[in-house]
């Protein structure tokens, strides 16, 4: 059944008139939070009398959870961004979710991530995450894929250009600009290989960000992605393997460095960290997707530039490894390493927390 996106059908020129109206010093603040699925994002907006100057100026708010009893949740603002949709002075604010008794909600992995980042503060750990996503039409089928059969086999799509190679570049470009406007630390973007991907698969990179900032920025970048897609009437899915078949899956490669790794001779610290990761492989797989490793089973097959989910492999410049040392880093003798295992729909709080626990705190993942 064909369906249309209500929002994208509305007249955007008309919308411009209303968005240009003055708001007399008032400020619209959109609160964003991760819902109980641990994957979905929610949002709602309120008016503040003045533009907040920092996160401290934004009050807590509440939301309604699923439970009948004790359904009230607290929204605790943690990071403020500019709103690229209604623009200055309006804000997007990422929130943590607490339950009615002010204990972190089950889906709130930020509280424990923050503790771990604070415990490892001396290491000045930086992350960079590569978010892959697949564009789907409103029918749930990869955007612009032929309705009868499949696109040409995987081939000229990675970093591709041309109407027959890549589909949906507007989304990528608008998302990129919107992230820059908002203050999200996006550092690049490219078309992907996935054969949904006569590429309707794309990637953007966020980072390097220190500590907790990595996951905060990535979650807001995801919110902006879904919101841009809403305007255009397409869907972005972070499912690691949205189409069964001989196509690449979608991941969220996580690049990591400490101060020592970035300095001359840092390669030995990178190798130490990888050694520690190698003996905790199963524990990491359990937190690298929202379903305890089940999602990644569909993706980490040992084919399509992945290592098999049951094996830990590492190597320099090896894209078939679980953890890769980039070629340039091997050459320079310092820099960072890349954990290629996290799924596109991973919770970056859980992923970065596990890496720091294993590599720097010698604690359970
Ligand atoms: P790939 O070659 O794996 O596709 P990308 O260029 O897509 O790599 O992404 C590289 C990522 O590595 C970016 O997110 C970037 O922020 C991150 N990065 C670069 N330098 C560092 C560093 N020293 N520590 C951690 N992350 C880094
Ligand atoms: Mn209501
Ligand atoms: Mn990449
Ligand atoms: Mn990629
Ligand atoms: Mn990568």
Tell me what pLDDT residue 197 has.
43
**Ligand 1 pocket, residue 202 CB under 6 Å:** no
Rounded CA separation 119/362 (Å): 12
Q: Is the peptide bond before 89 cis (omega within 30 degrees of 0)?
A: yes
* pTM for the whole structure: 0.94
Residue owning tokens 């907790």 = 212
The residue to mutate among 201, 207, 214, having the most atoms of ligand 1 within 8 angstroms of its beta carbon, is 207
Encode pLDDT of 63-87 as tens digits: 987 666 668 899 999 999 999 999 9
- The alpha carbon of 338 and the centre of ligand 1 are apart by a number of angstroms equal to 8
**Structure confidence by residue, pLDDT tens digits, 277-325:** 999 999 999 999 999 999 999 999 888 788 899 999 999 999 899 999 9
Angstrom distance (rounded) from CA 10 to CA 105: 36
Contact between 95 and 127 under an 8 Å Cβ cutoff? The reply is: no
Question: Which of 248, 255, 325 has the most ligand 1 atoms within 8 A of CB, as the residue to mutate?
Answer: 255
Is the ipTM above a cut-off of 0.95?
Answer: yes
Q: How many angstroms separate the CA atoms of 238 and 303, rounded?
A: 19
- C-alpha 325 – ligand 3 centre gap (Å): 13
65-70 LR contacts (CB < 8 Å, sep 24+): 65/36, 65/99, 65/105, 66/36, 70/99, 70/100, 70/101
Q: Which are the contacts of 323, defined by CB distance < 8 A and separation ≥ 6?
A: 274, 277, 312, 313, 314, 337, 338, 339, 340, 341
For 269, list phi and psi in degrees, rounded to 5.
Answer: -75, -35
Atom of ligand 1 nearest to the CA of 208: 16
Contacts of 229 (CB under 8 A, 6+ apart): 135, 171, 235, 236
Is the shortest distance between the CB of 127 and ligand 1 below 6 Å?
A: yes
CA atoms of 68 and 327, how far apart (whole Å) = 54
């Amino acid at each position: 059944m064909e369906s249309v996106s209500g929002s994208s059908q509305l007249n955007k020129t008309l919308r411009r008139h209303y968005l240009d109206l003055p708001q007399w010093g008032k400020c619209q603040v959109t609160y964003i939070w991760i819902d109980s699925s641990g994957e979905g994002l929610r949002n709602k907006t309120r008016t503040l009398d003045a533009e907040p100057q920092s996160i401290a100026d934004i009050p807590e708010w509440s939301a309604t959870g699923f439970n009948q009893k004790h359904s009230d949740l607290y929204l605790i603002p943690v990071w403020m961004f500019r709103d690229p949709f209604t623009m200055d002075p309006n804000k997007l604010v990422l929130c943590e979710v607490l339950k009615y008794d002010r204990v972190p909600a089950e889906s709130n992995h930020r509280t424990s991530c923050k503790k771990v980042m604070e415990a490892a503060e001396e290491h000045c750990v930086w992350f960079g995450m590569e978010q892959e996503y697949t564009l789907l039409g409103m029918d749930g089928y990869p955007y612009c894929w032929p309705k009868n059969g499949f696109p040409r086999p995987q081939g000229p799509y990675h970093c591709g250009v041309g109407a027959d190679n890549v589909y949906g570049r507007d989304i990528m470009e608008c998302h990129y600009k919107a992230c820059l406007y908002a203050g999200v630390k996006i550092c690049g973007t490219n078309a992907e290989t996935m054969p949904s991907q006569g590429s309707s698969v794309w990637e953007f990179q966020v980072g390097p960000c220190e500590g907790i900032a990595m996951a905060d920025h990535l979650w807001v970048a995801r919110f902006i992605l879904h919101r841009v897609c809403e305007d255009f009437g397409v869907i972005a899915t972070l499912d690691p393997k949205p189409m069964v078949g001989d196509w690449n899956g979608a991941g969220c490669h996580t690049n990591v460095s400490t101060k020592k790794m970035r300095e001359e001779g840092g390669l030995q610290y990178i190798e130490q960290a990888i050694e520690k990761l190698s003996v905790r492989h199963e524990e990491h797989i359990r937190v690298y997707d929202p379903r305890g490793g089940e999602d990644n089973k569909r993706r980490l097959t040992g084919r399509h530039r992945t290592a098999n989910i049951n094996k830990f492999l590492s190597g320099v410049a090896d894209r078939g490894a679980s953890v890769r040392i980039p070629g340039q880093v091997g050459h320079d003798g310092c820099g960072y390493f890349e954990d290629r295992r996290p799924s596109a729909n991973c919770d970056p709080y859980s992923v970065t927390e596990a890496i720091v626990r294993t590599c720097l705190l010698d604690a359970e993942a």
